[in-house]
Structure 1
Amino acid sequence: MTAMTTGPRRPLALAAGLLASVIFLALGGCAGSELRSAGAAAPAADRTAILAMTGDYAVTFDFRETVSFEAGYTPKEPYHSGAFEVVRVIRDEPRVIELQHILVVGADGRHLPIKHWRQKWVYEPDYVLDFIGNNRWRRRDLGPEEAAGRWAQFVYQVDDSPRYAALGDWRHDQGTAAWTSEPSLRPLPRRDATKREDYDAIRAVNRHALVPGGWVHEQDNTKLRLGEGAEGAAAPLVREVGVNRYLHSDTFAVAVAEDYWQETAAYWEAVRGLWTRLEQEQGEIGLTLAGEPEEMYAAFLGHADALASGERSLAAAVAEARQTLRRYTVDSTAIARR
């Protein structure tokens, strides 16, 4: 199911998602297995908590380095930022839920949508994707005992390429709802990737918790140097705590995000399909770019913009996306060409 749920606002057209499915199948796509075919149903309370993260938000991003592990290193100044963001359901199945984030920027009546990150929640998954450094991710299969009763959160970047994934547990205690992950490795955030070269990855524990008026994403991060890209040789540089707060807001141009998704949902569904094939069939994804892959995601976003403006047909935009994936990923030619 790929419709974007809009709640009380005007619903977005379902035709775009259905058309993308037809195109994707024509290109040889396959949904693949993300979870076990047998097993207990996902707990209703967990599903309710995940779906409760949808809405229209004023978001604040706060990060503070706390403890240095290297002689002579002084923690950096705290980072603070804010944004307006729309979060919508684009897939709702009994054991898989996907939420798409779209930023709305601008002022004085001039607003622009920016496709942001995507989170995919899978109950009792067959695998997770581990970041292994140097813009590479590797599939790690999970045994039934390890995944039993648990949810994996997969986080994808603005172009639907992988970012990180982790297995964790939802807890519902005394009226609260929170999911806490196992530690997992992930790339540098953009706020550091464009400015710093003194560390290579973050080992993070993530917590998503519902709060009055919205939800929070808490992070317990350790910034690491990765000798030869192997986590086993990682040396900690500094610890960091982060809190991203999502508070419901009706003070911004939500329709800008909804219009963008209506115009581009079919394209992004096809793009997700291409990345999913690499994730499931190839088992390892590597980029040809070092550092922040801005060149790659600018290309994917550009194809979507051309579709939204009427400069490209859907078929042409998807074809360009396939070529972009081939250009910027390692050993993906055979899969991307199907």
Structure 2
Amino acid sequence: MTRLKTMIGASLLAFACSLSPALAHPPIAATQAAATFEQDRADILAMAGNYKVRFDMQESTRWDPAYTPLDRKISGGNEVVRVIEDTGRKIVLQHMLVIEHEGASHIIKHWRQDWEYEPARVLVYADRNTWKWEDVPEKMRTGRWSQTVWQVDDSPRYGGWGQFETQGGVRRWRSNWTWRPLARRDAVRKPVYDRYLSINRHQNSPDGWVHWQDNTKMGGKDGKLVPIVQEYVLNTYTKFDGYNVKAADDYWSATKDYWAAVRAEWDKVANENGGIVIQEEAETGTVISARLLQIADDIVEGKTDTQKAVSEARKLIAENTGRI
């Protein structure tokens, strides 16, 4: 098993290196970058708001003849997106799902996206349970933004960098090729693939915005990392506030200091350890995800205070992370 993992890791690295985005997108001139900076910011900030979300997932082309693609899956819900940090060159957006159940509104802290202008490095998914820092080529930094996506407990999910571009009259941000771990919808099935190789696109529309993913699902076979099936995901965010938006804002007001401390702790671990190593499980993401979320709920319900909550969270993260 160790030998297989080593071989897969080597294959992954070689494959990733062969997919250099520099071949598709040349360096951006400083004058061009300066001219579009404010429009870039406006497009990112425009993703904040209140939405009805539709998640449309479709496995299409099988690359492994023994694999049977899954049927198309469509789901959705109501989601609030808030700007929780904006320093000019860094913008952080927090997503929160609002679920109605038995006459009450329940908040599920969802994913987070960090945008950074002209980054020197990005925290990327490297292998099972491992995220590491990856340098952005110096000549490819000017005018570009990185997007780092974090899981519900603020642990890392994937990171990439790319540029805003206009094609056919449509302006969008397009990432480089990025590796990412399996989403829960796939992980719980224990499939033959164990990671995705993806390109992401974010683009605004008159009704909101869309996040389009082109995912190649990869798995180990005969000691090599090989493509199993292609998947296309279109997440559509349509402006809508016909639900209890206040419940999400109240949740965030009560827990924002706790989650700020949790984010800071993950950042500390990544910087001190050269990345983040933490065990993941199919049902919850990281092994401490459920507890970190429950602590936040306990704050909302008055079962604990922020100081005690932060202390427990820091301990959980310290005890469950390791060095690269």
Report the TM range for the smaller structure's normalisation.
0.7 to 0.9
Partner of 1:46: 40
Partner of 1:76: 70
Letter in 2 for 1:247: T
Secondary structure of 2:127 counterpart: coil
- In the alignment, structure 1 residue 180 sits paired with structure 2 residue 171: no
Per the alignment, do residues 306 and 107 of structure 1 end up closer, same or farther by CA in structure 2, a change over 3 Å counting?
Answer: closer
Partner of 1:276: 267
Q: Give the drift of 1:175.
A: 5.7
Partner of 1:302: 294
Residues 38-80 of structure 1 show CA distances to partners (whole Å, capped at 9, x for unaligned) of x976700000000000100000001111111112211111111
Separation (CA, whole Å) in 1 of partners of 2:113 and 2:214: 19
Q: List aligned pairs for 1:155-304, cutoff 5 A.
A: 155-172=149-166, 176-226=170-220, 233-292=224-283, 293=285, 295-304=287-296
CA contact (8 A) 1:128 1:140 kept: yes
Separation (CA, whole Å) in 2 of partners of 1:268 and 1:226: 36
Letter in 2 for 1:188: L
Deviates more, 1:60-69 or 1:277-286: 277-286
Which ranges in structure 1 are unaligned for 5 or more consecutive residues?
1-38, 333-338
CA contact (8 A) 1:133 1:226 kept: no
Q: List aligned pairs for 1:315-334, cutoff 5 A.
A: 315-331=307-323
Task: Give the length in aligned residue pairs.
Answer: 292
1:312 to 290, 304, 317: 304
Secondary structure of 1:43 counterpart: helix
Separation (CA, whole Å) in 2 of partners of 1:180 and 1:288: 30
Residues 258-303 of structure 1 show CA distances to partners (whole Å, capped at 9, x for unaligned) of 0000000000000000011122232121113454535411011011
Letter in 1 for 2:176: E
Q: List aligned pairs for 1:41-190, cutoff 5 A.
A: 43-107=37-101, 109-172=103-166, 176-190=170-184
Separation (CA, whole Å) in 2 of partners of 1:152 and 1:183: 12
- Per the normalisation by structure 2, the TM-score is 0.85
Partner of 1:34: none
Identity of aligned residues (%): 42
Which ranges in structure 2 are unaligned for 5 or more consecutive residues?
1-30
Deviates more, 1:104-113 or 1:158-167: 104-113
Per the alignment, do residues 103 and 53 of structure 1 end up closer, same or farther by CA in structure 2, a change over 3 Å counting?
Answer: same
Separation (CA, whole Å) in 2 of partners of 1:46 and 1:331: 35
Letter in 2 for 1:251: G
Separation (CA, whole Å) in 2 of partners of 1:113 and 1:171: 35
Letter in 2 for 1:63: M
CA contact (8 A) 2:97 2:107 kept: yes
Residues 155-207 of structure 1 show CA distances to partners (whole Å, capped at 9, x for unaligned) of 00000000000111112457632101111100101111112331110001000
Letter in 2 for 1:317: A
Structure with the higher fraction of residues in strand conformation = 2
Deviates more, 1:209-218 or 1:167-176: 167-176
Secondary structure of 1:209 counterpart: strand
Q: Give the drift of 1:331.
A: 3.9
Separation (CA, whole Å) in 2 of partners of 1:145 and 1:320: 42
Residues 82-109 of structure 1 show CA distances to partners (whole Å, capped at 9, x for unaligned) of 1100000000111000000000001453
| RMSD (Å), alpha carbons | 2.1
Q: Give the drift of 1:145.
A: 1.1
CA contact (8 A) 1:135 1:290 kept: no
Deviates more, 1:65-74 or 1:97-106: 65-74
Letter in 2 for 1:198: V
Per the alignment, do residues 53 and 91 of structure 1 end up closer, same or farther by CA in structure 2, a change over 3 Å counting?
Answer: same
Residues 203-232 of structure 1 show CA distances to partners (whole Å, capped at 9, x for unaligned) of 01000010111000001110001479x9xx
Separation (CA, whole Å) in 1 of partners of 2:50 and 2:96: 10
Secondary structure of 2:170 counterpart: coil
Separation (CA, whole Å) in 1 of partners of 2:194 and 2:179: 10
Deviates more, 1:319-328 or 1:172-181: 172-181
